């Protein structure tokens, strides 16, 4: 336990999950129980990459929910720079307002992929595309509910877990207990760091509700996205059962070497490192690059 962390276990936000079938991502609308304030976690922008076509069905679903419930959007939180889907954050901000926040480690991600995509000097590597950059332990509010950002690197340098009342959004650190943990082989990833980050999550209160960013329904089970700290500690297949840090690093490294590159990594990184804005060419047209043998 870390009793010094400002976690409000007596505050129970309403959490609505929205599953994106194309990318197995779960986006959330989190509502402060004491007001109409809400936050969105990890919204998805739809893309048909082969056709270069972007659409807004998933984002519109979130907007409809927020409008139907009469909520006011205060925050759009990215748990990290996703490599498997594009962020709809700017589209949602245009429609509903709110501030876009991500971990301060974004600058490291921007340095790395600014080089990979040979971005010119107009691409800022200081995180200024976002409205807020969180440091470990930062707090902010959603209505009257306090939120806490915890730095949990390993999958990427910018990964954070966001705790709101008795709910935590773990991004790509843990998957459901039968899914284990996220890959660590992206640039800036580190299996040992992820192990340490997961251990930190497992010291949070037993009954803290944990909401996953992804689920792939291992073994054919129905898609699920909610579990708890106690359940992860007991049953997670990658970190439970007394596995050591060295065991985890060995397992994770071997597994990651067999994983395919995410289908949408090239468009995802270019958009998400710009807080969800599609890059533009010299004439101002939305345009993306493909670095050949660059990843
Ligand atoms: Fe990810």
Residue 242 is predicted with a pLDDT of 77
Distance (angstroms) between ligand 1 centre and the Cα of 213 equals 8
- Residue 97 and residue 76 in contact, taking contact as beta carbons nearer than 8 Å: no
- Residue 117 and residue 291 in contact, taking contact as beta carbons nearer than 8 Å: yes
Distance (angstroms) between ligand 1 centre and the Cα of 94 equals 24
Residue ranges of alpha helices (H) inside the chain are 57-68, 89-96, 106-116, 191-202, 229-235, 245-258, 265-272
Distance (angstroms) between ligand 1 centre and the Cα of 214 equals 9
Distance (angstroms) between ligand 1 centre and the Cα of 82 equals 4
Residue 243 is predicted with a pLDDT of 87
pTM for the model stands at: 0.96
Distance (angstroms) between ligand 1 centre and the Cα of 268 equals 10
Distance (angstroms) between ligand 1 centre and the Cα of 80 equals 7
Distance (angstroms) between ligand 1 centre and the Cα of 34 equals 31
Distance (angstroms) between ligand 1 centre and the Cα of 171 equals 7
Residue 233 is predicted with a pLDDT of 93
The correct answer on CATH 1.10.3470.10 for the domain covering 14-272 is: no
Q: Within the chain, which residues score under 70 in pLDDT? A: 1-3
Residue 1 is predicted with a pLDDT of 45
Residue 285 is predicted with a pLDDT of 96
Residue 3 is predicted with a pLDDT of 52
Q: Which tens digit of pLDDT belongs to each residue from 75-112?
A: 999 999 999 999 999 999 999 999 999 999 999 999 99
Phi, psi of 115 (to 5 degrees): -70, -50
User: 21: buried, middle or exposed (CB in 10 Å: 19+, 13-18, 0-12)?
Assistant: exposed
List the shell of residues around ion ligand 1, using CB closer than 5 Å.
82, 172
- Residue 100 and residue 131 in contact, taking contact as beta carbons nearer than 8 Å: yes
Q: Which tens digit of pLDDT belongs to each residue from 29-62?
A: 999 999 999 999 999 999 999 999 999 999 999 9
Distance (angstroms) between ligand 1 centre and the Cα of 45 equals 15
Residue 294 is predicted with a pLDDT of 86
- The domains of the chain are located at 14-272
Distance of alpha carbon 227 from alpha carbon 98, whole angstroms? 28
Compute the chain's Rg from CA coordinates.
Answer: 18
Helix (H) or strand (E) holding 77: strand 72-77
Distance (angstroms) between ligand 1 centre and the Cα of 172 equals 5
């Amino acid at each position: 336990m870390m009793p010094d962390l400002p976690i409000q276990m007596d505050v129970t936000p309403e959490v609505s999950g929205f599953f994106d079938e194309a990318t197995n991502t779960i986006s959330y609308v989190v509502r402060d129980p004491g007001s109409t304030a809400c936050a969105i976690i990890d919204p998805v922008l739809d893309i048909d990459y082969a056709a270069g076509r972007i659409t807004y069905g998933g984002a519109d679903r979130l907007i409809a929910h927020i409008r139907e419930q009469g909520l006011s959007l205060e925050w759009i939180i990215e748990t990290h720079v996703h490599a498997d889907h594009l962020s709809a954050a700017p589209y949602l901000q245009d429609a509903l307002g709110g501030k876009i926040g991500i971990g301060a480690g974004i600058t490291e991600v921007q340095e790395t992929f600014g080089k990979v995509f040979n971005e010119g000097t107009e691409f800022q590597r200081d995180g200024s595309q976002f409205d807020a950059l969180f440091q470990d332990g930062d707090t902010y509010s959603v209505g009257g509910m306090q939120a806490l950002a915890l730095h949990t690197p390993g999958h990427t340098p910018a990964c954070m877990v966001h705790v709101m009342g008795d709910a935590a959004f773990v991004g790509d650190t843990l998957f459901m207990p039968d899914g284990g943990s996220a890959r660590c082989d992206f640039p800036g990833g580190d299996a040992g760091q992820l192990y340490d980050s997961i251990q930190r999550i497992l010291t949070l209160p037993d009954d803290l509700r944990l909401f996953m960013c992804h689920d792939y329904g291992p073994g054919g089970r129905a898609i699920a996205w909610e579990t708890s700290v106690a359940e992860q500690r007991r049953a997670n297949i990658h970190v439970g059962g007394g596995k050591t840090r060295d065991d985890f690093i060995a397992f994770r490294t071997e597994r990651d070497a067999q994983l395919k590159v995410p289908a949408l990594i090239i468009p995802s990184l270019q958009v998400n490192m710009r807080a969800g804005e599609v890059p533009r060419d010299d004439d101002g047209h939305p345009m993306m690059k493909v670095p050949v043998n660059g990843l």
